[in-house]
Structure 1
Amino acid sequence: MKPQARRLSRELALQAIYSWQMTKNPVEQIELSIVTSNNMQKVDTEYFLELLRNVVKDCAELDKKMKPYLGRLPEELDPVEFAILRIATYELVARIDVPFKVVINEAIELAKSFGAEDSHKFVNGVLDKAIKTLRKDERS
Structure 2
Amino acid sequence: MSTARTNARKAAVQALYQWQMTGQNLSLIEQQFVNDEWLKDAQKSYFSEIFHGVPEHLQVIDQALAEFVDRPVEAIDPVERAILRIGVYELMFRLNMPYRVVLNESINLAKCFGADGSHRYVNGILDKLAQRLRAIEIKAKSNT
TM-score (structure 1 length as normaliser):
0.95
Counterparts of 1:8 and 1:136, CA distance in 2: 28
Task: Pick the structure with more helix per residue.
Answer: 1
Kindly provide the amino acid, as one letter, of the partner of residue 28 in structure 1: S
State the 1:39 CA deviation: 5.0
Give the % identical residues.
Answer: 41
TM-score (structure 2 length as normaliser):
0.93
Counterparts of 1:39 and 1:20, CA distance in 2: 16
Which residue of structure 1 lines up, in the alignment, with residue 103 of structure 2? 104
Which residue of structure 1 lines up, in the alignment, with residue 12 of structure 2? 13
State the 1:41 CA deviation: 3.9
Any gaps of 5 or more consecutive residues in structure 2? 140-144
Which residue of structure 2 lines up, in the alignment, with residue 40 of structure 1? 39
Which residue of structure 2 lines up, in the alignment, with residue 72 of structure 1? 71
Counterparts of 1:52 and 1:99, CA distance in 2: 20
Deviations 1:90-132 (A, max 9, x none): 0000001110000000000000010011110100000111111
Any gaps of 5 or more consecutive residues in structure 1? none
Counterparts of 2:110 and 2:38, CA distance in 1: 22
Which residue of structure 2 lines up, in the alignment, with residue 138 of structure 1? 137
Q: Any runs of at least 4 consecutive aligned residues in structure 1 with deviations exceeding 2 A, and if so which?
A: 39-42
**Number of residue pairs aligned between Structure 1 and Structure 2:** 139
Say if 2:44 is the partner of 1:63.
Answer: no
